Amino acid sequence: MPRVTANITHITTPLVWTNVSNVDTPLKIGTKLQLLPVQPTDEHKTLMNTEGIVRDFYTPFQQDIDHTVHATVVGRYGGRYDLVKLLCKMNGDDDVWNTFFFVDVNDARDRATEAKHQKLLDALPEWAKIQASPTTQRKVYRKIKTHRKFDEIQRKKVDRVFRKTWRELRTIGFDFDPKSGETNHYSKRCIDETMLPMMRYLKRSLNVWAQAFIDDCTDAKAYENDEVWRRGQLGTDEYPEGETSFVGDTGAIV
């Protein structure tokens, strides 16, 4: 059963911003964004000539926008991928504001059906910070969210997702056939060029996403002090009591 902490705390909430990639999509009208002064790489400059989504992403950043003043979502435009219309303060002494269309990268990634577009969207830089709490310090009531204790049932659910995802992940870099047994043999060059770099990337990616998720949910610094992430130990041959993995379990997963 889910656990619910019933107490409600009376607190003062400060202004907090988080990366726009951390929020649910699509961006809603009225959302406030702190634009980042993004510049295309040499590779992206070339892609702008052939890939419309890369060109559309960088085009509004060529405008003389005052990045120190937050922009506001005032509309949307739906096409092959979603654009959000932002009201932006322009540089200069005059109080001049204009609207420009920006690519809602998260929403576009969710809707992309081609691997080519997914790859392009994943390579685009973080383009804005988004308001994660009220813009002014004020008294609010915070109710602690519901959570489920991470026990054997939850571990099995995680492993079920991982087992399915892992089959897809390993096809990215490997010609692996689960039915061929010992004939799945790769050269040392594959180990150096594919296996180790991919595993390091997966581990670091999980680390980054986990850190961001925890930071969005609490002010506690428990994550940085956790032994698994500080020392990178606890491999497949060493599980603490209550953390056994079911990844290799062929039995039914509830």
> Tens of pLDDT along 217-242?
776 666 666 666 666 554 544 556 66
pTM of the complete model: 0.48
Residue 183, SS3 per DSSP:
helix
Q: Which two tokens stand for residue 220?
A: 């506690």
What is the rounded CA–CA span in Å between residue 238 and residue 235? Answer: 6
pLDDT tens across 6-24, in order?
A: 344 444 445 567 888 777 6
Q: Is the peptide bond before 134 cis (omega within 30 degrees of 0)?
A: no
Residues 137-172 have pLDDT tens digits of 333 344 566 777 887 778 888 888 888 888 888 888
- pLDDT exceeds 70 at position 133: no
Beta bridge partners of 12: 139
d(CA 129, CA 70): 9
User: How sure is the predictor about 51, in pLDDT bands with cuts at 50, 70 and 90?
Assistant: confident
Alpha carbon distance 85, 71 (integer Å): 10
How far, CA to CA in Å, does 207 sit from each of 156, 200, 217, 218? 21, 10, 16, 16
* pLDDT at residue 88 tops 80: yes
Six-digit token string for 72: 């506001």
Residue 208 has what pLDDT? 78
Residue 247 has a pLDDT of 61
pLDDT value, residue 229: 66
What backbone torsions phi and psi does residue 154 show, to the nearest 5 degrees?
Answer: -70, -35
pLDDT bucket at 77, cuts 50 / 70 / 90: confident
Contact 48, 59 (CB under 8 A): no
* pLDDT value for 241: 64
Neighbours of 203 (CB within 10 A): 12
Nearest CA among 136, 174, 201, 141 for reference residue 10: 141
Q: How far apart are CA 110 and CA 188, in angstroms?
A: 36
pLDDT of residue 101: 93
Query: Rounded to an integer, what is the distance from CA 30 to the centroid of its chain?
Result: 22
Distance CA 33, CA 186 (A): 47
